Structures are given as C-alpha cells and as structure tokens.
C-alpha cells in the first residue's frame, strides 16, 4: 500500500506518543487527532483521550464519530489541575512559530491594533511550561515559520530558560505536511528532524522564513505499516477527513 | 428564606457603568445571553469584562460597552473566531488584558480567597508578562523557584446562566461541565443567576444528582427565570447550540449592512421579541 502525505503525517503524530503511558493526549486538528487515536490502538494503549468537552472516553471511534463509552468525567476545571501536575501531552496549532520555538495563537501585528486578531492566549503558556508539548502545522509555509512571532503565547526553550520556566518544560516536535522538526538546534532552536517521503530539503528550507538548523544526515519520516494504514483508512478516518487538512502536492 | 426572584430588567438595572463584570460559561457554551442582551438594551457602558469569551464578548465589544476586556480567548467553538470581537480589536477599539487560561483561573481563585495573588507557573517567558506592567513575579521562600504572582480578579457582579435554580439562588447545571461559573460567583461581590427554570428547592434533585448542584444561595443575590436564556449558545440538556443562528450571527457580523439588519431584527426588541424573531428566522428557513 502506498501511503499519502496525510497518512505519513498521521503516523508522525502517532509517534509523538511513544512510551507515553497513562497521560492525557490533547490534540488540535484532524491529523493529530487521528494520530493520538492510532497511538492508543497500537503502541500506547494507556493513553487517555478527551472529547474536548467534559468526558474521557474508553472506545476509540472514527475521528468524525461520537464516542460511545465514557470512562470518566473531565470538566475544564479538572483539566487545569492535570496540566499543573504535568500528566499531559498537547499537540497545539500555531499561527506563527519562530526560530526559537516560540508560538503565537493570539494576534498578528500591533498589540493594541492587530492586523489580524486570533483566538487569544488560550492555555499555551500553561501547557508549554508544564508538560509535553508538540505542534501540528497543516501548511508548512513562510508565514507560519517566521523569524520572530508577534506575540509569544507558547514559550520556546531559550525564553523558558531565561525566565526560569524550563523546569517542567518538555517541547517535543513540530509535525507539518512536509517534515518533522524538533528543538535540537543551538540554544533550543528549531531543527529539521526528518523529511516526509517525496519532499526535498530545498522545499522545506524555502517554506521556512528563518534559517532552519539542519543536522547532518537528515532522515526520511517513516512510512506507516500496513496495520497502521488499515486502522487509519478503515477504522479511524473512513471518510478521509485527513485529505482535507493535508493536500499533498 | 428570601425570595431573590426578579425580572431581567430589575436584575440588570443594578449593573452600573464602569463596573467590573464577570460573565460565566465558556466560549459559545452556556453563556448568560439573555442578561447580555438586556445590558445591550440599556445605557450601560465603560465596563471591565472578565470572561472566557464567546458571543457575549463579541456583542458587548461591538456595541462599545467594554472599556477593558480581561480574557484568555474569544471563540464561537464551532466557528473558531467571533467576527465582532476580531473586528473591534482590529480597528483598535478595545483595551485588553490578555491572560493565559491557567492564569485566569488562578485570578478568580485568588479573588474568592481574598488574596492579592496566587503563584502560578504559567506565564513565565510568555508575552502576557511584558504586555501587562501590573504583573509581577514572586520568589518562593522555600526554593529558588520563581512564579508569576497572578493578581486577584475581583468582580463587582458575576452573571451566570444555569439549567435550574430555586428562588433563593441554589444553582444547578444539568449539562456536561460546570465550566467556571462557581468560581465567577465566588469571585464576585454579588451574582445574578439566570436559569432556564426556577423550581422549588425540593424539586432540584428531580432531574440531576446531588453533584449537579453547582453553588449554593450563599453566592447568589438575584435569580431571573430566563427560558432559552443562553440562546444561541449551548445549554445542554435543555437545548444544544443553535448552529444555524450562530452562523447567521457570524455571517452578519462580517458585513455592516447585514449587521444593521441583524441588530434591528434581533436586538432592538425585548427578550420576548428576540425569541419570536429567532422562531421566525427558523420558520423562514423551512424548519419547524
């Protein structure tokens, strides 16, 4: 079976949770949501999943289907307790991520008169100083990967260290439609970890508006196994919502 | 026992311009929209609004009633952004105090406990600190750790909408999540509770377990019966979000002419007129 780009990204997201144990996996976006469910069905059976409202669920349904088997109540107030305790891995989105691994969800432009007002701070600051944090970027492009974010909502490695906020920080990876990045550059800068099959290094460099740290011997993101492809296509995303989020070209 | 039931007009008449008001619910979920609509009908302005924002913030911001917004996000949930809020911000019409959600919760807890602040890890290194000169950090007396000293967020009035309440203000939620309505009530000098239905105290357990009793009358100063008072946000299990109407709200908000028509149809009328107009909106779409 030949995997699509979306399916490669799903598996890269699933791999974020390797060895996770009994923690909450929180995901924003279709691809990481399929990835977390795939992880629970394969290598990370102890993962906890929430419906994004107030329930942890025990079954692992398709990404566009409701759960049928609640496991425990999980209201928002409880979420903040759990975050402070650190037993969570979140995969957030970002309007911008800069070379130092800082993320922006809040607004683009001037603080008092933004050119584009976005969501606001959400819980990005809480997440990034308390527990494992990764990012999912469905369209890897120069407007997302910028030299410096306009507002720091999620805290990158250098700023965390400079502000004494690195004790529980655990930044993992950035999965995009083109590549997997991590924070292993100098002083925690964003670095290339692997290229998705069929994507050239030049393409990723062109799509990144800052000098991406490129280690020697960059590998290729692994392909899904036949079992993973079957689970994604038949069970977790039979209506192929993943292809709406990632249009490989 | 005191009967705290008042009309929506009487309840909102106690809110004065310049007050700090906390609005319960979360995003586009169980928002006290009837109370917000009543504020819009009155000449109440210069408000400091503290909220996990949804269309409550969008409506008040666009109408120019908010001097300062204290918030962590503004979202319509099924529609990521509220166009009224984003437009108001983009034309420079709103002073903000933006907190991370974790900090925001700590601020409400501090207000209830009558503390100046609570220490919290979140916020260190993020732009909430430099953006807000009143924010300070605090050094642990037990280690070298430094924390954000999240200042208390005391409220003059909290507005919350619940599924059921009795006439004294014992409040009950029957949906999946209490959100932070209890914290808003505890952080406030007084709390206006609107409810889908006001029932006798003895009937509070008819529909939900003991654990659905969200807060007691000690935190309630006024009780308003407001059926469909969270519309168009969710108020499960009484009703879900009115997605069609929310879409209409968001689409209208993007165009000045459409917005003028929306205001005239839905907002320049009393609460009964609002619900009648919403019923006509659905009837015109061929829904029953």
pLDDT for A155-180, tens place per residue? 999 999 999 999 999 999 999 999 99
Is residue B54 within 8 A of residue B75, CB to CB? The reply is yes
Chain A (19-38) residues lying within 8 Å, Cβ to Cβ, of chain B: none
Measure in Å the smallest separation between the Cα of A15 and chain B Cα atoms: 27
* Interface touch B102/A53, C-beta < 8 Å: no
Contacts of B128 in chain A (CB under 8 A): 121, 125
For residue B286, the model assigns a pLDDT of 86
* Interface touch B145/A167, C-beta < 8 Å: yes
Contacts of A123 in chain B (CB under 8 A): 72, 100-102, 122
Q: Edge-to-edge, what's the strand order for the sheet holding B117-120? A: B117-120, B146-151, B136-139
- Measuring CA to CA, which residue among B93, B69, B61, B71 is closest to residue B26? B71
For residue B1, the model assigns a pLDDT of 73
- Higher-confidence position of A210 and A248: A210
Angle at A16 between CA A12 and CA A20, to 5 degrees: 145
Measure in Å the smallest separation between the Cα of B122 and chain A Cα atoms: 4
pLDDT for B112-160, tens place per residue? 999 999 999 999 999 999 999 889 999 999 999 999 999 999 999 999 9
Is residue B40 within 8 A of residue B253, CB to CB? The reply is no
Per-residue pLDDT of chain B (288 residues; tens, 9 = 90+): 799 999 999 999 999 999 999 999 999 999 999 999 999 999 999 999 999 999 999 999 999 999 999 999 999 999 999 999 999 999 998 999 999 999 999 999 999 999 999 999 999 999 999 999 889 999 999 999 999 999 999 999 999 999 999 999 999 999 999 999 999 999 999 999 999 999 999 999 999 999 999 999 999 999 999 999 999 999 999 999 999 999 999 999 999 999 999 999 999 999 999 999 999 999 999 875
- Looking at chain A, the whole-number percentage of residues with pLDDT higher than 90 is 96
Mutation to test the A interface, candidates B49, B101, B180, most A Cβ within 10 Å:
B101
Cα separation, A33 vs A65, whole angstroms = 12
- Is the pLDDT at A249 greater than 80? The verdict is no
Helix, strand, coil content of chain A in percent (nearest 5):
30, 25, 50
Instruction: Give the residue numbers in B contacting A (CB under 8 Å), as ranges.
Output: 26, 53, 71-75, 80-81, 85-86, 89-92, 95-96, 98-103, 105, 121-128, 131, 144-146, 176-180, 183
Stretch A80-103: mean pLDDT: 97
Stretch A86-114: mean pLDDT: 96
* Interface touch A124/B126, C-beta < 8 Å: yes
Measure in Å the smallest separation between the Cα of A30 and chain B Cα atoms: 14
* Interface touch B26/A76, C-beta < 8 Å: yes
* Interface touch A160/B125, C-beta < 8 Å: yes
For residue A248, the model assigns a pLDDT of 66
- Is the pLDDT at A1 greater than 70? The verdict is no
- Measuring CA to CA, which residue among B5, B52, B17, B6 is closest to residue B32? B52
Cα separation, B82 vs A118, whole angstroms = 9
Q: What are phi and psi of B201, to 5 degrees?
A: -50, -40
For residue A52, the model assigns a pLDDT of 86
Report field, pTM of the whole predicted structure over 0.90:
yes
- Is the pLDDT at A140 greater than 80? The verdict is yes
- Measuring CA to CA, which residue among A49, A40, A91 is closest to residue A228? A40
Work out the angle between the directed axes of helices B55-62 and B83-90 (0-180°, nearest 10). 40
Stretch A194-216: mean pLDDT: 97
* Interface touch A119/B81, C-beta < 8 Å: yes
Q: What are phi and psi of B38, to 5 degrees?
A: -70, -35
Contacts of B25 in chain A (CB under 8 A): none
């Amino acid at each position: 079976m030949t995997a699509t780009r979306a399916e490669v990204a799903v598996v890269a997201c699933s791999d974020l949770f390797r060895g996770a144990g009994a923690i909450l996996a929180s995901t924003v976006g279709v691809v990481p949501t399929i990835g977390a469910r795939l992880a629970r069905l394969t290598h990370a059976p102890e993962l906890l999943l929430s419906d994004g409202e107030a329930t942890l669920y025990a079954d692992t349904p398709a990404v566009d289907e409701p759960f049928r088997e609640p496991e425990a109540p999980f209201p928002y107030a409880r979420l903040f307790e759990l975050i402070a305790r650190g037993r969570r891995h979140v995969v957030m989105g970002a309007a911008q991520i800069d070379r130092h691994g800082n993320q922006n969800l809040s607004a683009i432009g001037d603080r008092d008169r933004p050119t584009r007002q976005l969501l606001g701070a959400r819980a990005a600051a809480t997440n990034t100083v308390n527990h494992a944090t990764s990012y999912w970027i469905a369209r890897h492009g120069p407007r997302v990967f910028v030299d410096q974010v306009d507002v720091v909502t999620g805290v990158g490695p250098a700023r965390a260290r400079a502000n004494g906020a690195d004790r529980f920080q655990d930044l993992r990876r950035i999965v995009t439609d083109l590549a997997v990045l991590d924070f292993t550059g100098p002083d925690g800068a964003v670095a290339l970890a692997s290229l998705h099959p069929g994507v050239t290094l030049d393409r990723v460099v062109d799509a990144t508006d800052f000098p991406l740290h490129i280690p020697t011997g960059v590998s290729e993101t692994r392909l899904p196994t036949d079992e993973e492809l079957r689970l994604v296509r038949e069970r977790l995303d039979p209506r192929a919502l993943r292809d709406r989020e990632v249009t490989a070209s | 026992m005191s009967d705290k039931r008042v009309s929506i007009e009487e309840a909102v008449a106690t809110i004065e311009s310049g007050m700090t008001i906390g609005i319960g619910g979360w995003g586009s979920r169980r928002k006290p929209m009837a109370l917000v609509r009543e504020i819009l009908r009155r000449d109440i302005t210069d408000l400091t609004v503290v909220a996990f924002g949804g269309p409550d913030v969008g409506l008040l911001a666009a109408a120019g009633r908010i001097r300062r917004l204290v918030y962590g996000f503004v979202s319509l949930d099924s529609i990521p952004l509220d166009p009224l809020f984003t437009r108001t911000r983009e034309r420079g019409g709103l002073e903000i105090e933006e907190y991370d959600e974790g900090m925001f919760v700590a601020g409400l807890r501090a207000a209830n406990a009558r503390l100046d602040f609570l220490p919290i890890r979140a916020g260190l290194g993020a732009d909430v600190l430099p953006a807000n000169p009143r924010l300070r950090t605090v050094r642990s007396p037990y280690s070298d750790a430094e924390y954000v000293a999240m200042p208390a967020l005391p409220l003059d009035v909290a507005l919350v909408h619940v599924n059921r309440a009795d006439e004294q203000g014992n409040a009950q939620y029957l949906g999946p999540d209490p959100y932070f309505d209890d914290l808003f009530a505890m952080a406030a000098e007084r709390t206006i509770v609107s409810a889908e239905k006001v029932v006798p105290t003895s009937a509070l357990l008819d529909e939900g377990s003991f654990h659905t009793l969200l807060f007691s009358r000690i935190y309630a100063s006024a009780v308003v019966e407001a059926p469909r008072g969270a519309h168009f946000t969710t108020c499960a299990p009484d009703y879900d979000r009115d997605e069609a109407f929310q879409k209409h709200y968001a689409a209208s908000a993007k165009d000045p002419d459409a917005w003028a028509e929306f205001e005239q149809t839905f907002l320049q009328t009393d609460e009964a007129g609002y619900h009648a107009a919403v019923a006509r909106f659905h009837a015109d779409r061929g829904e029953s």
